[in-house]
Structure 1
């Protein structure tokens, strides 16, 4: 049993196992590694980025991590809200880079406003805008496509228990969508900040080497590693 499987057994003992639980865990560990690298090497001299605006990127990172807590509950509203939160804060971070707005204003800015402002912004490269289109589609999916399980009004707690014990219906879909979303986020970040493999220290390179072969290949390509 892997590390995440042990976590589920300890904190969610009645939750059904997920056949892809370790794949999900590795993917989120990879996200943490990339986030750590990005937060270390991104330049605050890009457009309107400031130290305080990094909070939106950190919230994106933390939202991705919290999927590890919501998934064992097997509850669509919580899982979808967590995905939406992560996507929304990544979009807010991109917005924060290119718009001279205070944190509070960005925090209150809605998805539709962000999408339209980015579309109209002439500084943002078309390549980044095209990649953002795919992220918009995931935001729409996790905002609209919710079909929560019905709760028996006479057996509320029993119904909730059944949901937790039932076979997980969302883990495979979340794994696929999260992988695609993270891939796009990595590419957008590197299009903006131009972080290269040769900038990394020995420890960071070793951690990349520990990724599964296909994932390592994707990360190295994004970091423009020259073998």
Structure 2
């Protein structure tokens, strides 16, 4: 872990705005965060770089959260429990789950950002909210450097809202999120008209997890360009 000086943030935000961080550090391990918070309290976190508009250089220490890893905690006949590190890309995680036939987040395909951001605003789309599959959120307490866990009910989830946008804001850094997903008997949600229309257009009458994900991806791409080609917020 090395703190760098005057680093361009152009490649770290989906608008591609070329502002600079006076100081910048990439964190890949939880213990590095704990070490960092012993001396640094007022920091600016960057994950996937979406849903933010950087308008000027940043004087605070910019921390790029790049902690990676997916682990299977428990697996049963019908369900699987996973813990995913905060730096994993959300959409790539969704696609990985579909490849494993794990259901519950297929409607949340192509939502920008990283896994660590998903509980903060309780991401949701097409009839599904991430709160319905989150079991636990693990964080580092910035003041004490201790690991702290918030169970689902303790996260105080609401519509695009959570404890992390309110009383816990600025006090914790999310390091991992745990999920409960289905392995069989998936509860597929195709109630949104746009998904039904997309499935019908592709002559899908008995949809799979991948069919639903593909439909959502197609709908999203029709509404917003790829931020890698045209800078934008990454969402709508």
What's the TM-score, normalizing by structure 1? 0.29
What's the TM-score, normalizing by structure 2? 0.28
Q: Which has the higher strand share?
A: 2
Q: Which has the higher helix share?
A: 1
